[in-house]
Amino acid sequence: SQQGEEDPQALSIQEGENATMNCSYKTSINNLQWYRQNSGRGLVHLILIRSNEREKHSGRLRVTLDTSKKSSSLLITASRAADTASYFCARGGGGSYIPTFGRGTSLIVHP
């Protein structure tokens, strides 16, 4: 399996601030994906970055990937209370068809 481990485990910020969370992994990948989970229910796919990409943007989300360090970061700019959720990373490809997830980063954005 291909683990993604998120850090920090918890993050508390004020509305308007930026939130940065990190993901590390151990083996090769074809891509890395970030997901959001509200209230312990289904995960929502946010963004996918391929192994040959270094940075990707989607609205207020910015994802970077450093394959030499086997790490990725997710930046949420100008956070809103509605961004409060848990965020998970998962790796795709690289020899395994089974994405695995860590415990996620729990983000709380205070209004």
Q: In the complex, which residues of this chain contact another protein (CB under 8 A)?
A: 1, 30-31, 33, 35, 40-45, 48, 50, 88, 90, 92-93, 97-104
C-beta of 15 vs 96, nearer to another protein: 96
User: What single DSSP character describes residue 87?
Assistant: E
C-beta of 44 vs 81, nearer to another protein: 44
Q: How far apart are CA 73 and CA 92, in angstroms?
A: 16
* Residue 98 Cβ vs another protein, minimum distance, rounded to whole Å: 5
* Residue 61 Cβ vs another protein, minimum distance, rounded to whole Å: 14
* Amino acid in position 109: V
23 closest CA partner among 78, 87, 85: 87
C-beta of 20 vs 31, nearer to another protein: 31
Q: How far apart are CA 15 and CA 37, in angstroms?
A: 19
Q: Which residues pair with 48 in a beta bridge?
A: 33
